[in-house]
Amino acid sequence: MSAYFEYLRQMLVRFFSDLGTFFRKTFAYPWADVPQNFNDYGSYLNAASPSFGFWGWFFFVLFAILFTALIGAIIFFIVIGIRKYVRFVKRELDKDELRSQVEKLNYELYQSTLEKDKILNLKTAYMGLRPDEQVEAKKELEAMASRFPKLVGVDAAYRGINMDIPARPGLSLEEICNSFRNFAASKLGLYYTIDAIRQLFAGMGTAKLIILEGISGTGKTSLAYALGKFVGYDSAIIPVQPSWKDRSELLGYYNEFTKKFNESEFLKALYIVGYRKDLCVITLDEMNLARIEYYFAEFLSVMEMRDPAAWTIDLIPDHQDGDPELLKGGKLLIPQNVVFFGTANNDDSTFTISDKVYDRAISLFFDDKGRPFQATPTEPMPMPYSQLAGLYEEAKRQFPISETMLSKFDDLDNFVIKKFKLAFGNRILKQLESFIPCFVACGGKEVDGFDFIFTNKILKKFESLNIAFLKDELKMLDAHLDKLYGKGTFKMAHAYIDTLIKNN
């Protein structure tokens, strides 16, 4: 074995030595004598200069000036040539871009012409249609004539339809959680822990943005899909693209050339919610493929307002006849019965979710596939959103946070400020007032609700700290949690702290 390694060493040494010789002779050898030539130039000058005389030195200086000017001119023309070449290439690229835009505009003009011809044909044939056919033709004419054809189509589809849903007597949040878990398992083969379901429904009573994050294949998107099936209205799944940089990618934009609004599927899904009376879920799949605080920034800000009537999104600055019915003065109201879900994978292809987003959302982390269990066959449970909202309000009245737990959490806040220079903030304290009562009403324990909020709202911020220098402080925090809440509690926080210490 040693003989083989000696052979391998000698072979590699010889190979790289020959490789170096090749490059040296190919690129360096032709220039090897140049430094010596410069020395020769000096020798020639030293030997001849004593006999130059006045005119010899005159022509020497003149020649030096002319020679320097020649070299400068060559360099100047080379630079000019390079600049002209770069400008030429850029001009050709600009021509290609302009040609592409012209082709796009021609296509849009062609589409507009087809639409106008179709409208004319419909108007011509309108009088010869049966009454039921005339109704359908009228809807199509209205949609095609509007700046918002998709949204006007939604108006036509929901016009005259009674969307009222009867309330379910005696319903509780705990029953909803258990029923949804059994429904997902028995009807869809999706298995989730009861704690995850309680966190989900308590989160929906706290924030309008629910982030489902973790490794791929753990059922994040499936959870949003299952919830839509459970409440009787399918969740809208909107794939986020890496190129999204602003709200126009999410909502669409007004095209000045075609005089129509390019409506996105997200906008259409959000508009439909305005007609419905049940819970509606809109899911942004792989939401951190682009920066959330860029394309979703307006929603994050608007949904912070205390008055739900002010939750409006500007789509267009003016109003015209034929605009969608729910669009008031160019503004669209974000209905209260919508909840935005966002799935997020944590890998190298995605962006880190910022504190601005985390602070305004409830985040659920999935790190394992669900374990199958024997589930009771359960049917979907359509219900009016007003009933679900009423259950959330009832929970806040029935299960207020105990003064003892608030005092302990305040103690924990002071400890974190002292050791890690991080504070909980008013937004987190406000979320506590909603999340904890709802979590208890869902069948959870108050201390587990505090554990969830502390882990997802505070400990996640520790990832931005230099953990390598804070291991002792983390161990002290671990011990302080046991001192405040007792051993065997705050399991999520203890596990997260252990992970931070081991990974650093």
Inform me whether the pLDDT recorded for 185 exceeds 50. Answer: yes
- What is the model's pLDDT at position 265? 96
Q: What is the pLDDT of residues 123-169, one digit of tens each?
A: 555 455 555 554 454 445 455 567 999 999 999 999 989 989 999 99
Place 462 in a pLDDT band, splitting at 50, 70 and 90. Answer: confident
Per-residue pLDDT, averaged over 410-429, amounts to: 86
Q: pLDDT tens across 60-111, in order?
A: 677 778 878 887 888 888 888 888 777 776 776 666 676 667 666 666 665 6
**Does the model's pTM come out above 0.85?**
no
Instruction: Name residue 222's amino acid.
Output: S
Strand locations in 56-177, DSSP E? Answer: none
- What pairs with residue 15 in β-bridges? none
Q: What angle do CA 197, 309, 355 make, to 5 degrees?
A: 50
Looking at per-residue pLDDT, the higher value among 222 and 422 belongs to 222
Would you state the structure tokens that stand for residue 152, as one six-digit string?
């006007």
List the strands of the sheet with 331-333, edge to edge: 312-314, 331-333, 327-328
SS3 170: coil
Residue 205 pLDDT: 95
What pLDDT is recorded for position 193? 93
* Per-residue pLDDT reduced to its tens digit, 367-405: 777 788 899 999 999 999 999 999 999 999 999 999 999
Q: Enumerate the domain spans of the chain.
A: 54-145, 173-366, 399-503
Give 322's DSSP letter.
T
* pLDDT for res 137: 47
Place of tokens 């966002």: 342
Residue 209 has pLDDT above 50, yes or no: yes
Q: How many Å apart are CA 27 and CA 30, to the nearest integer?
A: 7
Question: Which of 108-117, 200-209, 264-273, 468-477 is predicted with the least confidence, judged by mean pLDDT?
Answer: 108-117
Across 313-324, average pLDDT: 89
Q: Which fold has domain 173-366?
A: Rossmann fold (3.40.50)
Average pLDDT over residues 297-309: 92
**Which residues have C-beta within 8 Å of that of residue 114, sequence separation ≥ 6?**
none
Question: C-alpha distances in angstroms, 222 versus 14, 79, 180, 229, 450?
Answer: 59, 60, 13, 10, 27
Question: What letter would DSSP give residue 347?
Answer: S
Q: pLDDT over 90 for what percent of the chain? A: 52
Other Cβ atoms less than 10 A from the Cβ of 107: the count is 10
388 vs 351, which has greater pLDDT?
A: 388
